[in-house]
Amino acid sequence: MGGESKGTYPLPDDPSLAEVSQALQDTGHWGWVVDERWNLVFVTDELRLTFGAGELSEFAVGSHMFGPETAGASRKFRFGANSDEINRVTFAEVRGMVLNDTPGGHDELRETVDSSLRDLVDEASPVDPAALSFVSIGEALFGATNEVPVVMWRIRDPDGRLAGTALISKPAPGMHTLSDATSMGDLRHLKRMQQVGRAGRRPAAILFADLEASSPLSRRLSTASYFKLGRRLVVAADQCVIDAGGLVGRHVGDGVVAFFLAEISGSESAAARECIAAAHALRGAVADVAARSDLDPEDVVLRFGLHRGSNLYVGNISTGGRSEVTALGDEVNEAARIEACAGGGRALASKDLIERLEPEDAAALDLDPDALTYDQLGELKTATEKARRDAPSVAVCEV
Q: Is 226 exposed, middle or buried (0-12, 13-18, 19+ CB in 10 A)?
A: middle
Yes or no: say if 165 and 22 are a contact pair by the CB < 8 Å rule.
no
Q: Which residues pair with 80 in a beta bridge?
A: 139
Residue type, 28: G
> What are the two backbone dihedrals, phi and then psi, of residue 193, each rounded to the nearest 5 degrees?
-60, -40
* Whole-number Å distance between alpha carbons of 304 and 348: 6
Q: What does the pLDDT look like over 3-14, one tens digit per residue?
A: 444 799 999 999
Helix H segments across the chain? 15-26, 45-51, 68-74, 84-100, 105-112, 118-121, 175-182, 187-195, 214-220, 223-244, 262-265, 268-292, 330-340, 351-354, 359-364, 385-390
* Whole-number Å distance between alpha carbons of 349 and 272: 10
Domains belonging to the chain, first-starting first, are 15-177 (3.30.450.20), 184-398 (3.30.70.1230)
Pairing of strands 145-156, 131-139: antiparallel
Mean pLDDT over the full length of the chain: 93
Residue type, 84: D
Q: Quote the pLDDT of residue 2.
A: 42
DSSP code at position 59: P
* Whole-number Å distance between alpha carbons of 327 and 211: 22
Q: What does the pLDDT look like over 43-57, one tens digit per residue?
A: 999 999 999 988 899
pTM (two decimals): 0.79
For 169, residues 6+ apart whose C-beta sits below 8 A from its C-beta are 30, 31, 47, 136, 138, 148, 149, 150, 151
Q: What does the pLDDT look like over 131-146, one tens digit per residue?
A: 999 999 887 766 677 8
DSSP, residue by residue, 95-112: HHHHHHT-TTHHHHHHHH
Residue type, 138: G
Q: Quote the pLDDT of residue 10.
A: 97
Residue type, 247: L
Encode the chain (399 residues) as per-residue pLDDT tens digits.
344 447 999 999 999 999 999 999 999 999 999 999 999 999 999 999 999 988 899 999 999 999 999 999 999 998 899 999 999 999 999 999 999 999 999 999 999 999 999 999 999 999 999 999 999 988 776 667 789 999 999 999 999 999 999 999 998 888 888 887 777 778 888 889 888 888 999 999 999 999 998 899 999 999 999 999 999 999 999 999 999 999 999 887 778 999 999 999 999 999 999 999 999 999 999 999 999 999 999 999 999 999 999 999 999 887 777 788 999 999 999 999 999 999 989 999 999 999 999 999 999 999 999 999 999 999 999 999 999 999 999 999 999
How many Å is the maximal CA-CA distance in the chain? Answer: 86
C-alpha dihedral (284, 287, 292, 293), degrees to nearest 10: 130
